[in-house]
Structure 1
């Protein structure tokens, strides 16, 4: 069981306790720190939609430390990132693998970051299917469609041709932060948090 820290926020004479993720959300920070599941995706999608309703012109900051996970859950997050009007800055801390790497690359161009010791990994979707021969054929067709969809997303966000994406994702392709920058998955390798914008 994961222990979630609580913080105390003081406003005037009032004190309010909130979990750390709720406090980060106040600063427009969304954290993807586990494998990507339907439950996580629903939470992240809700946070993104909420932040857009709060201020559609302010950036959302998505921090990623994930080994990947469900492709369909990841695509729900991806589509919402593209759907909202806010710019979405993405940051890799630790690792962004599989769907985690796709979400990292999906940030607004020029606002995709990784810390120096981050590891990024892309590959084709993985699946294990049981059932009748017909069921396996149905799932194989869907699996192929998902693979093509992920390839198109990587093409869009890296600028590489299909042939290169297919070759590079045929097996696990690990990259350092600098290599991910050269590849086009991120725009900057940073050691320190960006300076906050001046207060109006």
Structure 2
């Protein structure tokens, strides 16, 4: 679902506030990009979560004409190249490192994801202080330049 993944990414990039991302379960493909696109220092995974990067897939061609198959293949290559550039930007790896890693599905546990630059920390039990450090909604609004009107 490349279009949906890029749409969420574009929306995240419009936010002025810090974006906290937490990987729970599996962050695969574009979801791994979204996990890495959080604000530096605020990208986390649960201890037994996985992250995985892979090349975009070409949808089933079924009985469509060869010209349509070619159009879909070109779009998949374009999406792959965009994904590589964005992952390189957020993980601070070279595009070649990302390209090489995603030749085949590249799975990462929390430790590997941290080394690869997808996340900044693994959330272990006892780190409740991280949640306590998050500011009140009013504080976030003030930083974003949102003014409260009539107590709302």
Q: Normalising TM by the smaller chain, what interval?
A: 0.7 to 0.9
Equivalent of 1:86, from 17, 22, 37? 17
Question: What residue number does 1:172 align with?
Answer: 105
Structure 2: distance between partners of 1:182 and 1:148 = 23
Question: What residue number does 2:42 align with?
Answer: 111
For residues 7-29 of structure 1, the C-alpha deviation after alignment (integer angstroms, 9 at most, x for no partner) is xxxxxxxxxxxxxxxxxxxxxxx
Q: Report 1:28-177 matches (<5 A).
A: 70-130=1-61, 131-177=64-110
Tell me: higher relative CO, structure 1 or 2? Use CA pairs within 8 A at least 6 residues apart.
2
What is the alpha-carbon root mean square deviation over aligned residues?
Answer: 1.5
Contact 1:129-1:139 at 8 Å conserved across structures = no
Q: Classify the secondary structure of the residue corresponding to 1:86.
A: coil
Equivalent of 1:196, from 132, 141, 147? 132
Q: CA deviation at 1:128?
A: 2.3
Q: Classify the secondary structure of the residue corresponding to 2:59.
A: coil
Q: Classify the secondary structure of the residue corresponding to 2:71.
A: helix
Question: What residue number does 1:48 align with?
Answer: none
Q: TM-score, normalised by structure 1?
A: 0.62
Runs of 4+ in 1 over 4 A off after TM superposition: none
Structure 1: distance between partners of 2:131 and 2:16 = 23
Contact 1:119-1:174 at 8 Å conserved across structures = yes
Q: CA deviation at 1:102?
A: 0.9
Q: Classify the secondary structure of the residue corresponding to 1:109.
A: coil
Change in CA separation of 1:89 and 1:128 when aligned onto 2, cut-off 3 Å: same
Q: TM-score, normalised by structure 2?
A: 0.81
- In structure 2, stretches of 5+ residues that fail to align are 140-152
For residues 132-152 of structure 1, the C-alpha deviation after alignment (integer angstroms, 9 at most, x for no partner) is 111111111111110000000
Structure 2: distance between partners of 1:185 and 1:122 = 10
Number of residue equivalences: 131
Q: CA deviation at 1:164?
A: 1.0
Instruction: Looking at secondary structure, tell me which structure has more helix per residue.
Output: 2
